[in-house]
A and B are shown apart, each in its own frame.
Chain A
Amino acid sequence: MNTIHNRRVVCETLIELSEKDRDIVVLCSDSRGSASMAPFAEKFPSQFIETGIAEQNIVGIAAGLAASGKKPYVASPACFLTTRAAEQIKIDVAYSNTNVKLLGISAGISYGALGMTHHSLQDIALLRAIPGILIAVAADRHEAKRLTEAFNEYTGPAYMRIGRNPVEDVYDSDDYDFQLGKAITMRDGNSLSIITFGETVKTALEAAELMSTRGIDCRVINMHTIKPLDNDCVLKAANETGAIITIEEHSIFGGFGAAVAETIVQNCPVPMKIMGIPDEPAVPGKSREVFAYY
């Protein structure tokens, strides 16, 4: 049972990177605790900026820092960051093409019991429609490390969606082939493909295991980079397995399933099911309870 949550790994990785890269700046909106960024703030106080509870301002400041050569990481709850500061993300980050990394913490239904004010189930739909933002999600702590390292190498606007709670490992270690924009086939199969990302990769693997006992040979794909989508991988899955299920901790409207469907429908139509949160305020509860409910 893994007890290390991804946000802690992101912080530890940023600390490691900052030993050599003094241009890294972490910004928090009274969120250093929930983002697990307090160790970074203590270790590198001169590379840490507190903005208070002001999401529009934190993104604007980050854009100004990036335009002046810094590598800002904005760590703020995904629910507030992506909706309250949507215009700053659109203009100051994406349109101005500043090298700002947005870390949307406690995304999806991480804050399950707190209700819709704190759920972030629109962020992918919203950011996906803005040109120029890379969107990625790690499936476990090992991938969180690789993704953070990849973010620091990547120059340009990018959004990392990070859950709150520890998730079970899907990788044995962080030593595997990870490239932004390149999906990973976690389990091969020929009768059906489940394409997902983040915490539900584990769920998909469990489902595939269950299906295998009933003779269904299911492929599981970890699409850690949602934009740009690995279209080749999606089309290969459609061609070779003939049916697609997408799972997302997000609204079923305009999100990940929609992105996969756009590719499938226009290139290789096959039966498809989009699983996610329906068009309603999500039921409150722990992640597992909410997933099970839907």
Chain B
Amino acid sequence: MDMDTYGRLKKKAAQIRRDIIDIVYRSSAGHVGGSLSETDILVALYYCVLNVDPKNPLSPDRDRFLLSKGHSIDAYYCVLADKGFFPKEELKTYSQFSSKYIGHPNNKIPGIEMNTGALGHGLSVGTGMALAGKMDNKTYRVFVLMSDGELAEGSVWEAAMAASNYGLDNLTAIIDRNGLQITGKTEDVMRIEPLAMKWESFGWNVIHTDGHDFPSLCDAFSKKNIIPGKPTVVIAETVKGKGVSFMENNPKWHHGVMNEAEYKRACEELDKIPEVCE
């Protein structure tokens, strides 16, 4: 990855994080911790990988993205708005009465494929989309972002078995492996390790990556890593609350709401990042 691209992505991620903090603070709602942990994954996908067109969001050949961890909607809305799927201004209604910008993905919004956020659904739906692509000889790819806590849902493993059985190499699952869920550490709530071995034994191509490093993320998602006949899972090691020091690695910020002082401090920290990139 050249330095220009790297700098552009870093700045974009800092801006998205700043947007997240704004909409979360303004609405006193949202799931800020998981939104900040997945931000770099979404930025890598939407600015480096996905073939999507905000002017033609339903193009039959588009790549499909599903936010299976639908509660982390804040980052997703901010990225879609920045890409031009809808005016950023509309996010002022986020979580307000009768707004379509609710706390989980809503497919009435351009760019959002499905209503998700009941955990454990996305991978099955993505499997169906990938199957349809194979049936129609399409070249689009399907990406499904899940949380690590979500992997306790049995339906994830029904889908993992099926996608491998059908040989869906056009499907990529991504795990936002921040290690925390609402109650605490995933390994204390329900152990999911050894995670890579689980996916390998289900017949998946497993890629481990730093979920905040753009060259690693873009490389993990690139077509060159596809193994024919196998679906791919990218286990992205992340930090919950990434970018805001007092939120990092603290499960309290799973859906914490900032007071004014915390908001100002978060903004100050995030505003420094683009300067570092200069």
Residue from the list B60, B64, B159 in contact with A57, Cβ < 8 A? B159
Q: How far is the CB of B107 from chain A (nearest CB, A)?
A: 6
For A64, give its contact among B107, B127, B154 (CB under 8 Å): B127
CB contacts (< 8 Å) of B162 on chain A: these are: 51-52, 54, 57, 61
Bound form: Cα–Cα A72–B126 in Å: 15
- Alpha-carbon gap, A116 to B118, bound state (A): 28
CB-defined contacts of A54 to chain B, threshold 8 Å: 158, 161-162
Chain B positions within 8 Å of A57 at CB level: 124, 127, 155, 158-159, 162
Kindly provide the distance from the CB of B122 to the nearest chain A CB, expressed in whole angstroms.
8
Which applies to chain B's interface (DSSP): helix, strand, loop or mixed?
Answer: helix
* Bound form: Cα–Cα A288–B107 in Å: 46
The segment out of B36-44, B129-137, B199-207 that lies at the interface is B129-137
A62 and B161: CB pair below 8 A?
no
B49: Cβ under 8 A from any A Cβ: no
| Structural contact, A88 and B124, CB atoms closer than 8 A | yes
Q: Is A92 an interface residue (CB 8 A)?
A: yes
Cross-chain contact of A61 among B115, B116, B118, B127 (Cβ < 8 A): B127
CB within 8 A of B107: which of A52, A65, A96? A96
In the assembled complex, A174 has its CB within 8 A of some CB on chain B: no
CB-CB under 8 A from A87, the residues of chain B are 118, 121
A44-96 interface (Cβ within 8 A of B):
46-47, 49, 51-52, 54, 56-57, 59-70, 72, 87-88, 90-92, 95-96
A47 to B135, CA, bound (A): 8
The closest CB in chain B to the CB of A68 belongs to B132
From B125, B127, B131, B155, residue with most partner A Cβ within 10 Å: B125
A59 to B154, CA, bound (A): 14
CB distance from A181 to the nearest CB of B (A): 25
Interface size band for A: 20 to 34
Whether the Cβ atoms of A67 and B113 lie closer than 8 Å is yes
**Closest Cβ of chain A: how far from B228's Cβ, in Å?**
19
- Is the Cβ of B118 less than 8 Å from the Cβ of A91? yes
Number of B residues, CB within 8 Å of A: 30
How far is the CB of A247 from the nearest CB of chain B, in Å? 35
Interfacial chain B residues near A70, Cβ < 8 Å:
132, 135
- Beta-carbon contact of A64 and B124 below 8 Å: yes
Given contacts A56-B155, A96-B107, is CB(A63)–CB(B132) below 8 Å? no
CB of B229 within 8 Å of the partner chain: no
B192, CB-defined interface residue at 8 Å: no
User: In the bound complex, how far is the Cα of B133 from the Cα of A72, in angstroms?
Assistant: 14
Q: Which residues of A contact B128 (CB under 8 A)?
A: 60-68, 72
With a cutoff of 8 Å between Cβ atoms, the chain A residues found around residue B154 in the complex are 56
Query: B196 near A: Cβ within 8 Å?
Result: no
Q: Select which of A52, A60, A95, A97 is within 8 A of B127 by beta carbon.
A: A60
Whether the Cβ atoms of A65 and B132 lie closer than 8 Å is yes
Chain B residues with CB below 8 A from A61, complex form: 124-125, 127-128, 131, 159, 162
Indicate if the CB atoms of A52 and B161 lie closer than 8 Å. yes
Known: A61-B124, A64-B124. A95 touches B131 (CB 8 A): no
Known: A46-B135, A54-B158. A67 touches B121 (CB 8 A): no
Interface: B109 (CB within 8 A): no
A97 to B158, CA, bound (A): 23
User: Nearest residue in B to A49 (C-beta to C-beta)?
Assistant: B131
B162 → chain A closest CB, angstroms: 6
Please, which residues of chain A bring their CB within 8 A of the CB of B133?
Answer: 68
Hey, which chain A residues are within 8 Å of B127, CB to CB? Answer: 57, 60-61, 64
B14-55 interface bits toward A, Cβ cutoff 8 Å, 1 = contact, 0 = none: 000000000000000000000000000000000000000000
The smallest beta-carbon distance between B124 and chain A, in angstroms, is 2
Provide the bound-state CA to CA distance between A66 and B277, in Å.
44
Contacts of B273 in A (CB 8 A): none
B226 at interface (Cβ–Cβ under 8 A)? no
Nearest-Cβ distance from residue B156 to partner chain A, whole angstroms: 10
Q: Report the separation of the CA atoms of residues A59 and B124 in the bound assembly, to the nearest whole angstrom.
A: 8
Interface pair B124/A60, CB less than 8 Å apart: yes
B158 touches which of A56, A72, A95 (Cβ 8 Å): A56
Q: How distant is the Cα of A69 from the Cα of B130 in the complex, in angstroms?
A: 12
Say yes or no: is B114 at the interface (Cβ < 8 Å to chain A): yes
Closest A residue to B133 using CB positions: A68
CA separation between A67 and B155, bound complex, in Å? 19
B129 touches A65 (CB 8 A): yes
A47 and chain B: residue at smallest CB distance = B135
Smallest Cβ distance from A126 to chain B, in angstroms?
Answer: 16
A61-B159, A68-B128, A96-B115 are known; give 6 further A-B pairs, CB within 8 A: A54-B158, A60-B123, A64-B124, A64-B126, A64-B127, A92-B115
20 contacts across the A-B interface (CB closer than 8 A):
A46-B135, A51-B158, A54-B158, A54-B162, A57-B124, A61-B159, A63-B124, A64-B125, A64-B129, A64-B132, A65-B129, A67-B129, A69-B136, A72-B128, A88-B124, A90-B118, A92-B121, A92-B124, A92-B125, A97-B107
Q: When A and B form their complex, which 10 residue pairs have the shortest distance between CB atoms, in order from nearest?
A: A64-B128, A60-B124, A68-B132, A57-B158, A61-B128, A64-B125, A64-B129, A56-B155, A54-B158, A65-B128
